[in-house]
Chain A
Amino acid sequence: MGKTLAEKILSEKSGIDARAGDIVIAPVDTVFAQDGTGPLAIRQFQASGFQKLANPASTIFFLDHNAPTPTKELSNDHLLIRDFARKCGACLSDIGEGICHQVIAESYAGPGDIIVGADSHTVTAGALCAFATGMGSTDIAIAFALGKTWFRVPPSIKVNVRGRFPKMVSAKDLILYLIGKIGADGATYMSLEFGGSTIDRMPVSQRLTIANMTVEAGAKTGLFPSDEVTKKYLESRGRGVKWRPLQPDTDAIYEQAIEINAAKLEPMVSKPHTVDNTARVTEVKGTRVHQVFIGTCTNGRLDDLAITARILKGKKRHHDTRLLVAPASKEVLLDAIKAGYIKTLIQAGAIILPPGCAACVGGHQGILGNGEVCLSTANRNFKGRMGNPNAFIYLSSPATAAASAITGVITDPREIA
């Protein structure tokens, strides 16, 4: 009987023949926390009586969620993290380096790895075929100390995607469509495993967008095969040695298979206040937008900024619509400067925020006013998510967001380009 990707990775790492439903203990290749979850993880690590990290070189703290900090309390949390990282020899990814998930993809993750992070979007690294999953601060504290954790081997849902995306339709529209179809708990405790000709051609940047949002369907992990695309990406990052091929067995057992024809997809949005409250852009077009936010671990990569710049080139944002752009990492920002995207965006009226989570989490850099509507390329639109429970968040692709920044209302990008 064949194995899914999740079963393969957890079997290999735990040393037992693991099947869906089994409980295994496995070593972790990379373990991390961010500035929102790190302080509690440090306190739980200390409360458990630990002093030493199992693997300092693969233990990372990211200062990305509230960075630079807007309050003295958060500055003190940063101090706690800096001090702990220095004393224990952990790696520190400082303010401005980028969002944890983007930096993990750029510099750490590889096929067959197990990655645990104190952040729900840790699933992003599944794009590189790493079994990556989010946990809370205490689980991460124990993984810091022991270098391992326990897992229930998840059953898997196979998502087969075939066909070419129509113009102005991308990975974001695909994952919003899928979440709308299966619901916010449609893959709870499960692994969502992607394949098919569309996935075979898809660059890592877009695979990251999809893997990132698998948790919005409740998934424990979202896995892509490790193939030539993965290999080229790792080589481009100077990490070619991390590559090896990894595919699910052809006779693997799945709970369910979902077939999607990419050619039939349209630009999608999630309406307030849940991610699975999806609609086609055509159903909500004309909705007034006060703020457009382009960035995050979902859509803050170079090709996201490229399509944004292409749509905004020579145009201006609507005078009553703020346009915030936050590159996902320092590398993305540098590449975007080199490509001329940043200049184009500033000329179009964009405000460029430092690499990091920016307005996504509601702590700083773009909190919404009462009754305001934001069209965001992020992954969550929960009530209060962007700092105000009396505001409304729609989610979309960068193309839809850029087109809407020009008109000031939700706009079908196919009508602009």
Chain B
Amino acid sequence: MLRGKAFKFGDDISTDLIQPGRYNYLRSNLPELAKHVLEDADPTFASRVKRGDFIVAGKNFGLGSSREHAPTILKLAGVSAVLAKSVARIFFRNAINVGLPVLICDTDKINDGDELEIDLASGTISDLTNNSKLTSGKIPDVMLKILSEGGLVPYIKKYGDFKV
């Protein structure tokens, strides 16, 4: 069970907004890079986010560049899951590969700052602030298996190959 606060963002949050290209020189220093996470969407986010909190976004979250640094630094900054109306393809795959859960749901009902509780196994999202429940869409089995191992590196270390 995951528990934390919702940080709301709008539609079309690009990976350039999540990991600005001007910090590419920090890509081999991920903890330092994580201090700039989402800086161009909300300059105060990195200093406010606490371990366990959630990104709650509109449609097409993570569009653009294939930079896996984007989900990696979200996770390093403490984000425990991304909730969005829809996510871009490469970001989706990258997030699962680094062990960051992504839940597709109607995020309109969640407000910024709401306290959420998420049961990943059932995909149930409980908004404890406004006392409502949401259910997320199903993700493909192959991705669930990777996520349940904590990401693609531990998955491959365990199985040595793709088990589809």
Interface residues of A (CB under 8 A from B): 23-25, 36-37, 39-40, 44, 47-49, 65-66, 70-71, 73-74, 76-77, 80, 117-120, 122, 134-139, 142, 145-146, 148-150, 152, 184-185, 188-189, 218, 220, 274, 361-363, 367, 380, 382-385, 387-389
- Chain A residues contacting B152 (CB-CB under 8 Å) are 44, 138-139, 142
Question: Can you show 9 pairs from A to B with CB atoms below 8 A apart?
Answer: A23-B140, A25-B164, A40-B69, A77-B28, A136-B67, A138-B153, A184-B12, A384-B16, A384-B21
5 smallest A-B Cβ distances: which pairs? A136-B68, A362-B21, A136-B94, A73-B25, A185-B60
| Distance from B121 Cβ to chain A, minimum over Cβ atoms (Å) | 21
With beta carbons under 8 angstroms apart, the residue of B20, B72, B90, B142 that contacts A384 is B20
A33 to B69, CA, bound (A): 14
Contact A135 B24 (CB under 8 A): no
Q: Which of A80, A142, A220 touches B89 (beta carbons < 8 Å)?
A: A220
B147-164 contacts to A (CB < 8 Å):
151-153, 156-157, 161-162, 164
Question: Using Cβ atoms and an 8 Å threshold, which residues of chain A touch B90?
Answer: 120, 134-136
Residues in A neighbouring B97, C-beta threshold 8 A: 136, 138-139
Inter-subunit contact B153/A47 (CB<8 Å)? yes
Chain B residues with CB under 8 A of A118: 66, 68
- Please give the residue numbers on chain B whose beta carbons come within 8 Å of chain A beta carbons, in ascending order: 12, 14, 16-17, 20-22, 24-29, 39-40, 59-60, 63-69, 72, 86, 88-90, 93-94, 97-98, 140-142, 151-153, 156-157, 161-162, 164
**Residues of chain A within 8 A of B94, CB atoms compared:** 135-136, 138-139
Chain B CB count within 10 A is highest, among A25, A138, A150, A362, for A138
**Among B21, B25, B63, B67, which residue has its beta carbon within 8 angstroms of that of A218?**
B63
Chain A residues, CB < 8 A from B162: 25, 146, 148-150
Residues of A near B142 (CB, < 8 A) are 23, 150
Closest to A35 in B: B24
Q: Are B66 and A135 in touch, CB under 8 angstroms?
A: yes
**Which residues of chain A have C-beta atoms less than 8 A from B40's C-beta?**
383-384, 389
Q: Contacting A138 at CB < 8 Å: which of B39, B151, B157, B161?
A: B151
List the A side residues contacting B27 at CB < 8 Å.
36, 39-40, 77
